[in-house]
Amino acid sequence: VFDFKIILGKNGVPVAENFRLEQSTIADTIQVGQVRVRTLYLSVDPYMRCRMNEDTGSDYLLPWQLSEVADGGGIGVVEESKHDNLAKGDFVTSFNWPWQTVAILDGSFLQKLVPQLVNGRLSYFLGAAGITGLTALLGIREKGHVAVGANQTMVVSGAAGACGSLAGQIGRLEGCSRVVGIAGTDEKCSILVQEMGFDAAINYKKGNVAEQLCELCPGGVDVYFDNVGGDISDTVISQMNQNSHIILCGQISQYNKDVPYPPPLPPDIEKIQKERNITRERFLVLNYMDKQEASVLQLCQWIQEGKLKVRETVVEGLANIGAAFQSMMNGGNIGKQIVSVSK
């Protein structure tokens, strides 16, 4: 069995060398209630940066331990089962899947998957039909106050990432009349407009973002799906309308800094927020798990109907998961960053 371990946790920019691949052994037999699984896909996500510190800054995330096997969202196939509800050949997932090629897991913590719901694309259950899609959909429904016919403009930062690329499309499906994305390359911007149905996209590394935003959102911004924080968000907030709404999904620009979450706004931007009565409440998808089942079915339906376009950046091999994590943190992915461990 190959597994991936953390060998360094500190403030600063994470690099592939913070992880180590080891070969180890697991038990020959499994106990009642357990299953032996072969790992198929692993997810790497921005929130994992928080887990590289002893203090994650979050009460729902446990830190990864030095020289212990890392974990996160994963999908595998059951190879042997002593759990009543799981059989050999079943596809299963968990939010706390160990970064190992093979693992023995408690079957009660695994969720059985139905591949037909995502047209056989199992990895979608880590993204568009998983916690990422749920974050986008429930974030918009719970914090976005989107209403059909209200002529609302939505702006999405980190728009070509796993969550942002879905959020823009879902904003449209939920009723926004105009959707503008902000991303970091011309290629990403082109994909957002030509493939994902965004009305326009801004490459924040080119030109004046404030001017472009003003031109593309002449009626101001009503809903802001914030994945990045920092200067980009300050620019968007300054152009938001009275009684508008920020969906505070992520702050990837701030994750390598020792600041509280959510990071405080600069005084001038906080003044704008208060004067215009802009909501900016922390959003945590885990608080809405009572809506998970119905929401996943909605996401799967949109995928099957072709209304929700899904992009993935797939890296092959467990040995490359550290590099995939580093690349994702630097914006190297389009859509969901996935590591394919075995076929």
CA distance linking residue 69 with residue 66, whole number of Å:
8
* Residue 151 φ/ψ region, left for φ over 0, alpha for ψ in the -120 to 50 degree band, beta for the rest: left
Structure tokens that stand for 29 in this block: 């037999």
**Gap between the Cα atoms of 324 and 99, Å rounded:** 13
pLDDT tens readout for residues 52-62: 655 545 555 66
Separation CA 335–CA 343 (nearest Å): 21
Torsion of CA 238, 239, 241, 246, to 10 degrees: -70
Q: What is the pLDDT of residues 71-97, one digit of tens each?
A: 899 999 999 999 999 999 999 999 999
pLDDT of residue 256: 42
The amino acid at residue 150 is A
Per-residue pLDDT of the chain (343 residues), as tens digits, is 666 555 554 455 667 777 788 888 999 999 999 999 999 999 998 767 555 655 545 555 666 677 788 889 999 999 999 999 999 999 999 999 999 999 999 999 999 999 999 999 999 999 999 999 999 999 999 999 999 999 999 999 999 999 999 999 999 999 999 999 999 999 999 999 999 999 999 999 998 999 999 999 999 999 999 998 899 999 999 999 999 999 998 765 444 444 456 778 999 999 999 999 999 988 888 889 899 999 999 999 999 999 999 999 999 999 999 889 888 888 889 999 999 998 7
Instruction: Give the C-alpha separation, 111 to 187, whole Å.
Output: 36
In this prediction, residue 196 carries a pLDDT of 96
209, 217 Cβ separation under 8 angstroms:
no
| Extended beta strands in 71-208, E state | 71-81, 91-98, 102-106, 111-112, 153-157, 178-183, 200-203
Contact of 220 with 239, CB cutoff 8 Å: yes
In the chain, the domains with their CATH numbers are 2-127+311-340 (3.90.180.10), 136-286 (3.40.50.720)
